[in-house]
Structure 1
Amino acid sequence: MYTFELVGALRPERLLAFELDDFRFEFGVDKDSGEVRELMISFSVHANDVATYSDSSNDKIKAHINLSQPRWERVVEMVHHISGMWGIWGLQDVLVNEATTTFIPESDKDKLAITVNNFKVKRARQPFLGDLPRLKPEYVVMPIITAVKMKNHDVRLSFYRRALQDVLNGEYIEAFYDYYFMLESTYGEGKTKNTHIQKKFLESELLSSTIEETVLSKQYKYSLPAELRSRYQVDYAGLTVSTFIEKIVKLRGFLHHHNNKRCDGWKPTKQDDYRLEAFMLQDICCRVGVELFYESVEESNAKAVYQELVEKYIRNEEPTVSLKF
């Protein structure tokens, strides 16, 4: 049985368990609010499909564990379909990647055979950007100086910040879009046609060199998670800067439209299909973002203002600077 946690305000008058074909559907309902909190889907499985646990005779290995998820792809497709329709009635999300898998014995013989009663697979939330060193104070203060002096915030870096959050949330299609918009806003000069945007991207020496030195470098593959390396090798290794830009711009166009009749169309529930592209644009945009940071600092003369503040601190004076002009 798979148990999926629901988020939202799906509140029916009443619900009963029922069966369709070989699937049984049950619901966990909060007694106080009446909201559906869990969806349970169960079905019979072959003994070979049951998860197993056994002690190891090897001192270096504690146990042998095989965590199987029978018919997982079929169940997930059903859940995505169900959740899409429930969204009309108040459902926000189904935590598909955090489902609990339970093996329920149907006989005394089954009880003896089952060595793993249940388990839960959960996406690990990585620390934000890892364990970074402590920043020098100017990198925190100078953005404040530029904000006060320039009045309008730089939307391009807002796209970057949103994309980082998308990646952390596993929303890789949205991350791709936000990173792409950062590049388009920086280098596209308002062009909309693919060929025109590609030309503008290629005209930027910084963008071209960044692509070549990061995602097209010989060692880049080894910076990726192991499960993404083979696809990178097939789809991106060996590309030129020009062909890489062309491919990314075309992908943006592909993700901008949708036709339900296309068998190869993208799905918002298949975010991992674009994880590689999100990671690559993240590496490119990080370097571009640093350049935008320093451009803003230079334009606003923030470094000199920061230095003036520091000197006033040293002299035990009130750290106040007027930026009006």
Structure 2
Amino acid sequence: AGDEVIVPAYTYAATALAVYHIGAKPVIVDVKDDFTIDPDTISKAITSKTKAVIPVDIAGYPADYDSIRAVISSPEALRQFTPNSKKQEKLGRILLLSDAAHSLGAKYKGLPMGHAADITVFSFHAVKNITTAEGGAIALNLPKSIDQEKEYKEMRLMTLNGQTKDAYTKTKAGGWKYDIVLGGLKVNMPDVLAAIGLAQIRKYNNFLLPERKRVAKTYERLLKPYNWALLPCLENDSTETSYHIYPLRIKNITEAQRDMIINEISHHKVAVNVHFIPLPMLTFFKQMGYCINDYPNAYKNYCCEISLPIYPQLDDSQVQLVVDTLVNAYNKVVL
């Protein structure tokens, strides 16, 4: 009780609610222009109660993990770190936990996501690049002071009620006896859903991801001539997005104008979205005392953001239609 976890203002509510549901306090900080958490705001938010930082790879573009690591490994952060468990003592610093719900297949400094943080959590929700309808995957990249194999086994136990045998093992002749060794949950992925995910994984790098990249690059080419279009960063040195979302921002418009543009687009049967409403604008977090005025960059990004459709089956003519519809809507609302 009393532990704090730093999360960005610009994310879906699940990031902060995961903190809330284990009895810790989400400490919300502002983001950079690329939607990812601002390392400078992390530094200012660290206290002796801070146990973890959760960067979020919005739209699939990785956060600045090197700068975040530098912050949590700084002498001041290490001095303030106060472990409350044996695992925290072994780690010896603030945990870096990546919310990579959007960034499966993204690269950070030339390596696939899963290497950048201590723990990386991917989502296989219905709208993600790979889906198992629900569920996800966890990648462990803990320091040598932590026994990763032991952590993995414990996490597997936790997903099946803390039970020492799964259902298949119990059906073996004479294998009925089991024990409950942890206060776990029933959150394991059903085999049939895992099979659906595996089928997509087999063609992800060679088909699904390249097709998403094609769509994003086509948007980039078609929108580049418009000086009102703030295009998202897709690649930068050895860092590359997963092309999960194409988060376009429009210069010098208000939130109301953005909403009017979306409404106009919808009249032409083109579905666009907004990712996301910043946490301090949501009732639950406002009731916790958070105010969007304290997160100017999060609001600046939100009020002019429109997520354009991006999926492998979207052909170039359809991408052109989306752009034409967007341009016409902009002209009608703004000009």
Point out the structure with max Rg over C-alpha: 1
TM-score between both structures, scaled by the size of structure 1: 0.26
Q: TM-score, normalised by structure 2?
A: 0.25
Higher relative contact order (CA 8 A, sep 6+): 2
More helix by share: 1
